[in-house]
Structure 1
Amino acid sequence: MKKVKVALLFGGRSGEHEVSRNSAYSVAKALSDKYDVFAIGISKEGEWYGPVPLEDIKQFVPEHYADKKITILPHPASGGTIYQLPGLKPVHQAEVFFPVLHGTFGEDGTIQGLLDLAQVPYVGAGVLSSSVGMDKIFMKKIFAEAGLPQVPYLYFLRTLIDNHIDKIITEIEEKLGYPCFVKPANLGSSVGISKAVNRGQLEEALKKAARYDRKVIVEKGLSVRELEVSVLGNDQPRASLPGEIVPCNEFYDYRAKYIDDRSALYIPASVPEEAVKRLQELAVAAFKALDCAGLSRVDFFLTKDTNEILINEINTMPGFTTISMYPKLWEYSGLPITELVDELVRLAVERFADKKRNITTYEE
Structure 2
Amino acid sequence: MKEHKIRVVLLFGGRSGEHEVSLNSARSIYRAIDRNRYDVETIGINKQGQWFWGVLPQDVLEKGFPETGQALQVTLAVDPSKPRFIALDGSPLPDEGRFDVIFPVLHGPYGEDGTLQGLLEMANVPYVGSGVLGSSLGMDKDRMKVVFLDKQLPLARYITLLRSDYFNDQEAWVKDIEAKIGYPCFVKPANLGSSVGISKAHHRTELMEALNVAAAFDRKLVVEENITGREIEVAVLGNDQPQASLPGEILPAEEFYSYEAKYSDIGSSLKIPAPLDESVVQRLRGMAIEAFRAVEASGLGRVDFFVTDKNEIVLNEINTLPGFTEISMYPKLWEATGISYSNLIDQLINLGLERYKDKQNCKISRT
Q: Which amino acid aligns with 2:77?
A: L
1:330 aligns with 2:334: yes
| Conserved? CA contact 1:231–1:237, under 8 Å | yes
1:271 aligns with 2:276: yes
Q: Which amino acid aligns with 1:44?
A: K
What is the CA–CA distance in structure 2 between the aligned matches of 1:315 and 1:301, rounded to whole Å?
15
For 1:242-281, what aligned pairs fall within 5 Å after superposition? 242-281=247-286
For 1:7-18, what aligned pairs fall within 5 Å after superposition? 7-18=9-20
Question: How far 1:262 moved relative to its partner?
Answer: 1.5
| Conserved? CA contact 1:25–1:57, under 8 Å | no
Aligned to 2:202: 197
Aligned to 2:111: 106
Q: 1:224 to 1:60 in 2, by over 3 A?
A: farther
Q: 1:62 to 1:54 in 2, by over 3 A?
A: closer
| Conserved? CA contact 1:194–1:205, under 8 Å | yes
Aligned to 2:193: 188
Instruction: For residue 301 of structure 2, give the secondary structure of its aligned residue in structure 1.
Output: strand
Which deviates more from structure 2 when the two are superposed, residues 251-260 or residues 189-198? 251-260
Instruction: For residue 359 of structure 1, give the secondary structure of its aligned residue in structure 2.
Output: coil
| Conserved? CA contact 2:24–2:57, under 8 Å | no
* 1:86 paired residue among 82, 89, 92: 89
| Conserved? CA contact 2:215–2:221, under 8 Å | yes
The alignment covers a number of residue pairs equal to 361
Q: Which amino acid aligns with 1:68?
A: L
| CA offsets 1:145-181 (integer angstroms, 9 cap, x no match) | 0111111100100001211111111001101110000
Which deviates more from structure 2 when the two are superposed, residues 158-167 or residues 238-247? 158-167
Instruction: For residue 66 of structure 2, give the secondary structure of its aligned residue in structure 1.
Output: helix
Q: Which amino acid aligns with 1:340?
A: L
1:131 aligns with 2:136: yes
| Conserved? CA contact 2:326–2:341, under 8 Å | no
Instruction: For residue 166 of structure 1, give the secondary structure of its aligned residue in structure 2.
Output: helix
1:51 aligns with 2:79: no
What is the CA–CA distance in structure 2 between the aligned matches of 1:299 and 1:323, rounded to whole Å?
17
What is the CA–CA distance in structure 2 between the aligned matches of 1:60 and 1:336, rounded to whole Å?
30
What is the CA–CA distance in structure 1 between the aligned matches of 2:38 and 2:247, rounded to whole Å?
30
RMSD: 1.4
Question: How far 1:57 moved relative to its partner?
Answer: 5.0
Q: Which amino acid aligns with 2:190?
A: A
Instruction: For residue 317 of structure 2, give the secondary structure of its aligned residue in structure 1.
Output: strand
What is the CA–CA distance in structure 2 between the aligned matches of 1:64 and 1:226, rounded to whole Å?
42
What is the CA–CA distance in structure 1 between the aligned matches of 2:154 and 2:42, rounded to whole Å?
40
What is the CA–CA distance in structure 1 between the aligned matches of 2:88 and 2:72, rounded to whole Å?
7
TM-score normalised according to structure 2 size: 0.95
| CA offsets 1:116-161 (integer angstroms, 9 cap, x no match) | 1110100000001100110000000000001111111001000012
1:168 aligns with 2:173: yes
Question: How far 1:32 moved relative to its partner?
Answer: 4.4
Instruction: For residue 62 of structure 1, give the secondary structure of its aligned residue in structure 2.
Output: coil
Instruction: For residue 63 of structure 1, give the secondary structure of its aligned residue in structure 2.
Output: coil
Runs of 5+ in structure 2 lacking a partner? Answer: none
What is the CA–CA distance in structure 2 between the aligned matches of 1:8 and 1:151, rounded to whole Å?
37
* 1:312 paired residue among 312, 316, 328: 316
What is the CA–CA distance in structure 1 between the aligned matches of 2:227 and 2:111, rounded to whole Å?
31
Runs of 5+ in structure 1 lacking a partner? Answer: none
Aligned to 2:346: 342
**Percent of aligned positions that are identical:** 52
